[in-house]
A and B are shown apart, each in its own frame.
Chain A
Amino acid sequence: DVKVTQSSRYLVKRTGEKVFLECVQDMDHENMFWYRQDPGLGLRLIYFSYDVKMKEKGDIPEGYSVSREKKERFSLILESASTNQTSMYLCASSETEFRPQHFGDGTRLSIL
C-alpha cells in the first residue's frame, strides 16, 4: 500500500511566521501535490512537482513556495503566514498522471 505521511496533524502558528509543512511518500512516485481544503470551496491545488527539483504552480500559489530536494519528500512553505492561510492542507502523490493520487491524512493549520 502507498503511504503518504504528513509530518503534523495539527499546527498552530502566528502571523508573519515562516511555516514548513512536510510530506513524505514511500512508493518512489514521480508526482507530488499540495492542496488546501476549505469549507464551501473544496480542494484547490497550490503547487505540484513532477520530479526532483521541479515545481509548477497550481491554481492558488500566492503566498506559498515549495521544495523538492529528494524524490520522496515535498515541502510546502508559507513564507509569511497570514490568517487567511488557516486551512486543512493535504499532500498527495501518484506514480504517473494516469495512476491514482494517494493522499496523506492532512495537516490542520491555524494561523493566529
Chain B
Amino acid sequence: KQEVTQIPAALSVPEGENLVLNCSFTDSAIYNLQWFRQDPGKGLTSLLLIQSSQREQTSGRLNASLDKSSGRSTLYIAASQPGDSATYLCAVRRWSNSGYALNFGKGTSLLVTP
C-alpha cells in the first residue's frame, strides 16, 4: 500500500524567504506526482505535475523535483509572499485495485508572515 508523507506538517517563514516542502512515498512504481495548493475551505488547485520519467517541473516561482528511486519529491518556493500562505499537498498516481488513483499526503500548512 502506497504511503505518502509530507514534512513538515506546518511551517512559518517571513516574507521573502526561499523554502522547501518535502514529500516522500513508499512505492516507487508511480505514473506521476502532482503538487496542489488548498486555501482554507476551498478545493485543490493544481500547481505542478511531474511524470515518472521527468526530474523536475517549473512554474514561475515554483520548482518541483522528483527522485523516483528514492521515493522523494520537493517543492521549492522562491521569494515567498503572504499570498503563498495555504496548505500544500502532494499526491502520487499509481495503479491499484482503485484504478489510476491519487494517493495524497496530509499536507504542509504554510504561513508566510509580512
Q: Flag if A103 contacts B101 (CB, 8 Å).
A: no
Taking CB atoms, residues of chain B closer than 8 Å to A105 are: 42-43
A59 to B96 CA separation, bound complex (whole angstroms): 10
Q: Flag if B98 contacts A100 (CB, 8 Å).
A: no
- Is B68 an interface position by the 8 A CB rule? no
Would you give the shortest CB distance from A63 to chain B, in whole angstroms? 17
Q: Check A104/B43 contact, CB under 8 A, given A45-B98, A48-B98.
A: yes
Would you give the shortest CB distance from B7 to chain A, in whole angstroms? 14
Q: How many residues of A contact B (CB 8 A)?
A: 28
Q: Check A42/B104 contact, CB under 8 A, given A100-B46, A106-B42.
A: yes
Interface size class of B (residues with CB under 8 A): 20 to 34
Taking CB atoms, residues of chain A closer than 8 Å to B34 are: 100-101
Q: Which of A13-21, A50-58, A64-72, A79-87 is the interface stretch?
A: A50-58
Taking CB atoms, residues of chain A closer than 8 Å to B51 are: 98
B45 contacts which of A31, A45, A103 (Cβ < 8 Å)? A103
Q: Flag if A42 contacts B107 (CB, 8 Å).
A: yes
Q: Flag if A97 contacts B44 (CB, 8 Å).
A: no
Taking CB atoms, residues of chain A closer than 8 Å to B43 are: 4, 6, 90, 103-106
- Is A27 an interface position by the 8 A CB rule? no
A50 to B101 CA separation, bound complex (whole angstroms): 11
Would you give the shortest CB distance from A89 to chain B, in whole angstroms? 10
Q: Interface digits, B76-114 against A, CB 8 Å rule (1 contact, 0 not)?
A: 000000000000010101000011111011110000000
Would you give the shortest CB distance from A10 to chain B, in whole angstroms? 10
Q: Flag if B104 contacts A43 (CB, 8 Å).
A: yes
A101 to B91 CA separation, bound complex (whole angstroms): 10
Taking CB atoms, residues of chain A closer than 8 Å to B89 are: 42-43
Lowest 5 CB-CB distances: which A-B pairs, in order? A97-B100, A103-B44, A103-B43, A43-B104, A105-B43
